[in-house]
Structure 1
Amino acid sequence: MPRPRSLTPDRLAAAALSVVDRDGLAALSMRTAAKELGMSPMGLYRYVSDREELERLVVDRILGDVDATPPPGDAPWRERVELMAGRLREAVARHPEAVPLTLTHRHRSPGGLRWSETVLGILTEAGVDGHARVVALRALHSYVTGAIQLEHRGPLSGPGTEAIAGLPGDRFPLLAATARDAPGVSPDEEFFGGLRLLLRGLGG
């Protein structure tokens, strides 16, 4: 039986992503995605073979929104990498519960591959190549995804910071003082400030 034209990969991805955004990554299954689509789980198997294929569709949808266009070449290379990291953050941070999926499946996502190719081009132009280029790309991926998860699960304005700010001053004076300053740091200041520290170490 031919597949209904209305049930496209994008629609499947949207339904699966709705489950993840609303109920968390652990809630995603063939059953929950099928329910979101208003169909039976067995019917869904006509379109995707398993949860892993659903996950890949979700990642394609998220990373497909990343603008991988190379920034203007007249800007300093660190500024261009910063722009690319900001673009990735903007797309992925819309769906923080799905961040682990982007780590698992980004190597199959055309959007993710295009982003990496653009960043590698900027790094290469700056003289970062060989093993240093490998480490640089991994460090950027690690920073962006880690920063998004920290911002979502442990924001500076959250209860964890409040608890640290209340630690005994005689045992943790610097930690407590830093935590008291933390709520005044905006998410953008935290993300781009940390990114600039990382970028200073790239390329010598």
Structure 2
Amino acid sequence: MVNWEKAAQPAKAARAALSYEAIATAAIEVADGQGLDAVTMRKVAEHIGAGAMSLYRYIDSRDDLITLMADRVSAEAIAPPPTGDWRADLTEAAHRIRQVTLRHPWLARHALNAEDFGPGTLAMTESTLALLDGHGLDTGDMLDAWRTLLAFVQGHAFAEARRHEARQRRTDASETGAPGPSFLDKAAESGEYPLSTRALREAPRPPDPQDAFDRRLGHVLDGLAQAFFDRDRR
């Protein structure tokens, strides 16, 4: 496990080139540029300009390295202070999480257990639960609402990032030659998938990512309202 007390200490000047902060920053840069699978102790050490074995003075394993990365990135999604309007507050928190996930898509692939939470993850969680506190929800309800929102936002943003990458690859491929008919084109001609092909072909090309996110976020918030916030009115 990561020693969070040591990780929170500032690096000593003589060893500033190698510290928890430097290791986390280098690993995040590798993951952002090449994906989570590219993150290895050796590659991160090379990125810093250190020997791979020197990282083990700070991190016991690759799993601990990824936990350290996730904690540092989670701090980017700390929610603003609550206004009292839970829906507006959760909307703002969701937008922040979306932007963080778009910057670091690999984050959606790494689920942290509570015992792995560090200062960044705890600060982000605390700030978001504060948006739900005071609205008549018990602790279990607050966690359910928060995890539901987080799962939607991270999943949506991760898929959004992957679709962007796929479109870019298709654009690059089309510049080298005319693309042939896609499987979707052939499926539409076959008539075997009428609902799927009609829905996919009639959808905006491509839909505005922000509009799509806001619309679907509204559905999630409507569900949370019915499940938790409006139940005393029924």
Same fold flag (TM > 0.5): yes
Report SS of the residue matched to 1:183. Answer: coil
> Quick check: 2:82–2:131 contact (8 Å CA) kept in 1?
no
| Number of residue equivalences | 198
Cα distance in 2, alignment partners of residues 192 and 135 from structure 1: 21
Residue 139 (str. 1) matches residue 148 (str. 2) = yes
Q: Give the alignment of 1:129-168 within 5 angstroms.
A: 129=138, 131-154=140-163, 158=167, 164=184, 167-168=187-188
> Quick check: 1:84–1:119 contact (8 Å CA) kept in 2?
yes
Residue 111 (str. 1) matches residue 120 (str. 2) = yes
Q: Give 1:28's aligned residue.
A: 39
Q: Give 1:41's aligned residue.
A: 52
Cα distance in 1, alignment partners of residues 199 and 186 from structure 2: 11
Q: Which runs of 5+ in 2 are unaligned?
A: 1-11, 171-181, 227-234
What TM-score comes out, normalization by structure 1 length? 0.82
Q: Give the alignment of 1:1-204 within 5 angstroms.
A: 4-73=15-84, 76-101=85-110, 103-104=111-112, 108-129=117-138, 131-154=140-163, 158=167, 164=184, 167-168=187-188, 170-180=191-201, 181-204=203-226
Cα distance in 2, alignment partners of residues 105 and 134 from structure 1: 14
Go from structure 1 to structure 2 and tell me whether the alpha carbon gap of 1:157 and 1:179 turns closer, same or farther (over 3 Å shift).
Answer: farther
What TM-score comes out, normalization by structure 2 length? 0.73
| Deviation readout 1:146-186 (Å, 9 max, x if unpaired) | 11221122359847xx7547632743333223212142421
| Alpha-carbon offset, residue 121 of structure 1 | 2.8
Report SS of the residue matched to 1:203. Answer: helix
Identity of aligned residues (%): 30
Instruction: Between 22-31 and 123-132, report the one with greater CA deviation.
Output: 123-132
Cα distance in 2, alignment partners of residues 16 and 46 from structure 1: 16
> Quick check: 1:165–1:178 contact (8 Å CA) kept in 2?
no
Go from structure 1 to structure 2 and tell me whether the alpha carbon gap of 1:27 and 1:127 turns closer, same or farther (over 3 Å shift).
Answer: same
Q: Which runs of 5+ in 1 are unaligned?
A: none
Structure number with bigger Rg: 2
| Alpha-carbon offset, residue 16 of structure 1 | 0.9
Cα distance in 2, alignment partners of residues 153 and 14 from structure 1: 23
Cα distance in 2, alignment partners of residues 117 and 13 from structure 1: 22
Go from structure 1 to structure 2 and tell me whether the alpha carbon gap of 1:59 and 1:157 turns closer, same or farther (over 3 Å shift).
Answer: closer
